[in-house]
Structure 1
Amino acid sequence: MEAKAPWQQVAILLVTILFAHIVFKWYSQRAFFRRMAKKYDLPCLPNPPWIFGDLLTIGRITAKYPTDTHGQLVPSLLMKHYPNIADMGVIYLDVWPTASPFCAVWDPDLIAQFTQQNPRPKHEFIRQQFRPFTGLKDIVLSGGAGWKKWRAAFNPGFAMSNIMALVPWFVEEALVWRKYLDQAAQDGKTIRLETSAMEVTCDIIVRAVLGVSIGVQTGEDTKIYPSMKRAIAQLVPNWSSSTLGRFLNPWRHSRLQANNKVLSDELRDRIYEQFYNHERAEGPKTINSLAINMYLKDKGNAPDNSNEIDPDYLSYAVENIKMFLFAGHDTTATTLCYCYYYLHQHPDVLEKLRGEHNDIFSVRAGAPDFFLTHPMTRQRLPSDGFMLWAVSKAVQRHPAYWEEPDAFMPERWLTGETTKNAWRAFELGPRACIGHELAMTELRMLLVMTVRDLEIILEYNEGDPQVLGSQAYQVTMSEELTAHPRNGMPVKVKLRQRRDS
């Protein structure tokens, strides 16, 4: 037999080592889960096979639904197919290698234990998703003294009083979107609502943070939004088959680094500009300018052209602003789309909302339900070695906590009678979403500026697939990191004759 070349021997050795590592890891994970389940009598799915864990059971359930259904719907689907799970309030799932073993929790009081009473750090599985994007310097993923410092620095900018001062700027960006929708109504073409929604929400969050209108909607911006979207498209949220191609792409890291550098460089220049023009800035204070205020207060002197900004401060500011831009355009746009979706599905509610706009320009009774509709024992349960998942979507569809949880009932928010800790669209506790007030203000403003004059008409086909009764179910998209409405929510826009005009 001919001897193998040295490179072949090395390749065989590496493959053997890799295979052995996978087998060892596989065995270790399954053994750990079995051991913990037996020791603590954990609530689990029935009879998981040793080799596949809960993957087969979850696979059989998800196979009943469209292949693009997003993974965050899995707990809701499990509750539907295993009704007894809904009463447990918690379930442990062994899904390695697609994700770490995790504990999915939908009992509000149990969730409060690790988010409000004793906040736990983000699991490494979540941290590794964003490490290439922000270096874990952002307030979403950092912890300890660093998190406390930067949360305090950005809190003033996200306070309701400051957000209200920024509303005139937001209106300017919203008017650009309104002009686009008016043109879509004239053209009569079907549009992907989410595409333009992400653009307007990005323009608004950039305006709020940096105080500049970069023109994402008009195409003037060629750096911040495009580079952010291309960088996000290279992040790997899990190890499922839908993201395997992204993970195995040999150019993924280089593309991510290149686009991340473009984004970071552009944001760095914007921060420099704010820093050195800080004393001369007019108008309302932006989120970043108020953070600069705190930085200068701590530093004890004012900047000038010969005084460079602290590189450490600059680095953390850049990474936090990147996360603000990602979070501030992504989920806000998705929520806005579902606002129009449910209003279209419930014309009676839409008419009430229009009347309310005509009277008082408020949607306070309506907005939370967009999240709601689309969102015990003394036993001690372990958390070490498990990823804790507060499954807010499942909480918000649970009849134990909500009257008619699948019904669209905005008036439920007028009574003040809700289960404690159950509404968690922005999470609760010290690590709750810092942009809560900004997002709600933004949604109210965009609705006020559109629903009275426009009809947003869904363009899904009658035979399109549904998940949990919705054709606009949340899907996994190859170029996105989070869940998005199917097909970007295709709609037609029509101008309406206002009865009050």
Structure 2
Amino acid sequence: MLSPLSVALLALPALLLYLYSALSYRRLKQYANFPQLKPSIVWGHLKAINEHHVKRNEKDSQLDPTMGDMLEEIGNPPIMLLDLRPVSRPLLVIRSHEVAEQVSRQSKMWPYSAPKSDTMMYLTPLLGEKSIVMSQGSGWKDMRKHFNPGFAPQHLMSLMPVILEKTQTFLAKLDELVRTGEEFELEPLCTNLTFDIIGAVTMDVDLNAQLPEDQQIEFIKGYKEFLTSYREGSGILKWWENPQLGRKRRRLAKSCNVFLEDVIRRKFNDVKQDKGSSSRSILALSLKDTQVLTQDIIDGTKDQLKTFMFAGHDTTSILLQWAFYELSRTPRAMKSLRTELESLFGQDLSPEVVREALLARGEEITQKMTYTSAVIKEILRLYPPAGTARLCPPGANFHLQLPDNSSLCVDGMVLYNCATLIQRDPDVYGSTKDDFVPERWLGNTDTSMATNDDEKMGIGKAGENEIPAAAWRPFERGPRNCIGQELANIEARVILASVVGKYVFEKVGLGEATLDEKDRPIINEKGQYRSNTQLYNTRQITARPVDNMRVRVKHQALTGA
């Protein structure tokens, strides 16, 4: 009679053969009809991702361009499968706006578009369990309806004085940096500015984020530390996550929650006592019809404030950094922008003149800022902070139709609408797909929520000089487009108008201009300053300049321009 050990040894080859066969099926046959690089039977596409990422030789760069390289290697199909198992579910990278539209639009199966992916759960400490970003179905719809009035364009225009007030502090800091001539990181300045604006707009609270660090309130210090913690580890995989990092995030989340709960209670009391009748904050509007402030309402409101705090400062800060950079190295675009501003404000583009004009007739002026809007739209095309990840549940029987009319079932996959690749599609943007060309949007500068949710404009082929609406999606499209996109657009217009008439930025380090023998920037064939290095994005939750946008700043009058 064989011993148990002998039986086990005899069975081992059969077990190994079974495991190999199962793994071989999963890697090589299960998704064989999807466009993809040849997978490793052990690593899937994890090894290929690492190899292609290393080839780019861009330390700490985001993965979207790496995925673009992989797509190019297999002929630029509209989609590409990445087998990330066992690390994560299979990921379908979508670079076609026609396919992306099928994911983001409403359907009979999903009235509010495809469900959000649970890969977002690593942001729960930062955004909260009840965040509008995480919510699904009718719960999301009710939440969106509740907060929509606070983000209505007409209401946001009434907040112009707040935006201008916070911008004055930003300009004062630039003046000091002009005086010292030192190089500095633009990111903290832009982030502190947009923090101040979003705090005032959402909560009617002066966060004083632009004060020197030793004078900032604990909430701001803690929140910045919270954001920085996402550089230390993705947190996507709980079994890989540093337990100490998890404890740190929970501690910071608790501190953040205490501050916000106090703000909510005080604002509720003001609203009930009619002290807040003049408040135009999103929080005040959301509490207006609340009769009893339950803990459930507090928790839900708190999570939305955290979400608005993050998304509301992040997108605009990144947009401003890249806008100042691209304008600083593209003289023709800067000239066109200043020409437009002079037509609206007069020859004197000093911040004081711009401020008074915007206070007097802000809505009228911002609606006429067509080239400014084209600059904003082009920056968001080239440098979208993020795409969207949706999850197609197993058994859903959801099919995506490809441009060649073939159809693929994507059940069990994470569907990644990769805005970085969609918005640089050569089939749409041609040979200038990687170039800063605001002029491409003239005649189509609308970035409003209504246009971004227009299903009728979605997937049609572009005519001459036309770009399909679905090929521009930095705020995503469909029912779940970004609730705060109008605020970002208004902020960007106001801040750009306040800055570009007086200040000129010069890039330092990555992406800085190459100079000739007379120390003048050399213009390349695209009308931009030549550079021997390329500035690129890294990732800290969202995509942002890898060097925090190191620059110097001068007054326009001192540049001789």
Same fold (TM over 0.5): yes
CA distance in 1, matches of 2:22, 2:255: 41
- The verdict on how the C-alpha distance between 1:194 and 1:271 changes in structure 2, with shifts beyond 3 A counting, is same
| Equivalent position to 1:406, from 431, 434, 454 | 434
| Equivalent position to 1:432, from 472, 477, 481 | 481
Alignment pair present for 1:339 and 2:339: no
CA distance in 2, matches of 1:54, 1:43: 12
Greater shift in the superposed pair: 96-105 or 424-433 = 96-105
- The verdict on how the C-alpha distance between 1:28 and 1:282 changes in structure 2, with shifts beyond 3 A counting, is farther
Q: Which residue of 1 aligns with 2:35?
A: 43
Alignment pair present for 1:121 and 2:115: yes
| Equivalent position to 1:141, from 129, 134, 138 | 134
Counterpart residue identity of residue 227, structure 1: G
| Equivalent position to 1:353, from 327, 333, 337 | 337
Q: What secondary structure does 1:322 align onto?
A: helix
Counterpart residue identity of residue 382, structure 2: T
| Equivalent position to 1:58, from 33, 40, 49 | 49
Q: Which digits, 9 at most, give the CA deviation of each residue in 1:440-463, with x for residues without a partner? A: 111111111111100111012579
Q: Which residue of 2 aligns with 1:456?
A: 505
Q: Which residue of 1 aligns with 2:354?
A: none
Alignment pair present for 1:475 and 2:503: no
Q: Which digits, 9 at most, give the CA deviation of each residue in 1:65-121, with x for residues without a partner? A: 2231112332223244x161x2x2111111235543100111112111111133111
Alignment pair present for 1:186 and 2:179: yes
Q: What secondary structure does 2:470 align onto?
A: coil
Alignment pair present for 1:493 and 2:549: no
Counterpart residue identity of residue 389, structure 1: Y
Q: Which residue of 1 aligns with 2:92?
A: 103
| Equivalent position to 2:298, from 311, 314, 318 | 314
Residue 190 (structure 1) shift:
0.5
CA distance in 2, matches of 1:266, 1:227: 11
Q: Is the 8 A contact 1:237 1:481 kept in 2?
A: no
Q: Which residue of 2 aligns with 1:366?
A: 375
Greater shift in the superposed pair: 279-288 or 433-442 = 279-288
Counterpart residue identity of residue 121, structure 1: P
- The verdict on how the C-alpha distance between 1:61 and 1:148 changes in structure 2, with shifts beyond 3 A counting, is same
| TM-score, structure 2 as length reference | 0.75
| Equivalent position to 1:287, from 282, 297, 304 | 282
Residue 223 (structure 1) shift:
2.6
Residue 60 (structure 1) shift:
2.1
Q: 5 Å matches for 1:6-405?
A: 31-38=25-32, 41-45=33-37, 47-65=38-56, 66-80=58-72, 82=73, 84=75, 86=76, 88-118=77-107, 119-126=113-120, 128-219=121-212, 220-235=215-230, 248-278=241-271, 279-293=274-288, 295-296=289-290, 301=291, 309-360=293-344, 362=369, 363-375=372-384, 376-403=403-430, 404-405=432-433
RMSD, aligned CA: 2.9
Aligned residues: 452
CA distance in 2, matches of 1:398, 1:215: 41
Q: Is the 8 A contact 1:129 1:235 kept in 2?
A: no
Residue 205 (structure 1) shift:
0.7
Q: Is the 8 A contact 2:510 2:533 kept in 1?
A: no
Q: What secondary structure does 1:497 align onto?
A: helix
Q: Is the 8 A contact 1:460 1:471 kept in 2?
A: no
Q: Which residue of 1 aligns with 2:393?
A: none
Q: What secondary structure does 1:488 align onto?
A: coil
Q: Is the 8 A contact 1:246 1:252 kept in 2?
A: no
Q: What secondary structure does 1:455 align onto?
A: strand
CA distance in 2, matches of 1:71, 1:328: 24
Residue 322 (structure 1) shift:
0.4
Q: Which digits, 9 at most, give the CA deviation of each residue in 1:27-83, with x for residues without a partner? A: 978754544313xx11111x2120011122222221112231112332223244x16
CA distance in 2, matches of 1:324, 1:221: 20
Counterpart residue identity of residue 170, structure 2: W
- The verdict on how the C-alpha distance between 1:30 and 1:292 changes in structure 2, with shifts beyond 3 A counting, is farther
Counterpart residue identity of residue 453, structure 1: K
- The verdict on how the C-alpha distance between 1:389 and 1:27 changes in structure 2, with shifts beyond 3 A counting, is farther
Residue 269 (structure 1) shift:
0.9
CA distance in 2, matches of 1:499, 1:258: 48
Q: What secondary structure does 1:256 align onto?
A: helix
Q: Which residue of 1 aligns with 2:451?
A: none
Q: Is the 8 A contact 2:35 2:79 kept in 1?
A: yes
Residue 276 (structure 1) shift:
0.8
CA distance in 2, matches of 1:59, 1:315: 40
CA distance in 1, matches of 2:557, 2:64: 40
Q: What secondary structure does 1:351 align onto?
A: helix
Q: Is the 8 A contact 1:100 1:125 kept in 2?
A: no
CA distance in 1, matches of 2:19, 2:305: 37
Q: Which digits, 9 at most, give the CA deviation of each residue in 1:258-278, with x for residues without a partner? A: 111111111111111111111
Counterpart residue identity of residue 152, structure 2: A
- The verdict on how the C-alpha distance between 1:26 and 1:110 changes in structure 2, with shifts beyond 3 A counting, is farther
Q: What secondary structure does 2:225 align onto?
A: helix
The alignment-based identity, stated in percent, is 27
CA distance in 1, matches of 2:508, 2:538: 17
Q: Which digits, 9 at most, give the CA deviation of each residue in 1:262-304, with x for residues without a partner? A: 11111111111111111222545111111112x42xxxx4xxx
CA distance in 2, matches of 1:113, 1:445: 35
Gaps spanning 5+ residues in structure 1: where? 1-23, 302-307
Q: Is the 8 A contact 1:234 1:246 kept in 2?
A: no
- The verdict on how the C-alpha distance between 1:331 and 1:62 changes in structure 2, with shifts beyond 3 A counting, is same
Q: What secondary structure does 1:401 align onto?
A: helix
CA distance in 2, matches of 1:239, 1:53: 20
- The verdict on how the C-alpha distance between 1:233 and 1:29 changes in structure 2, with shifts beyond 3 A counting, is farther
Counterpart residue identity of residue 94, structure 2: V
Residue 237 (structure 1) shift:
9.7
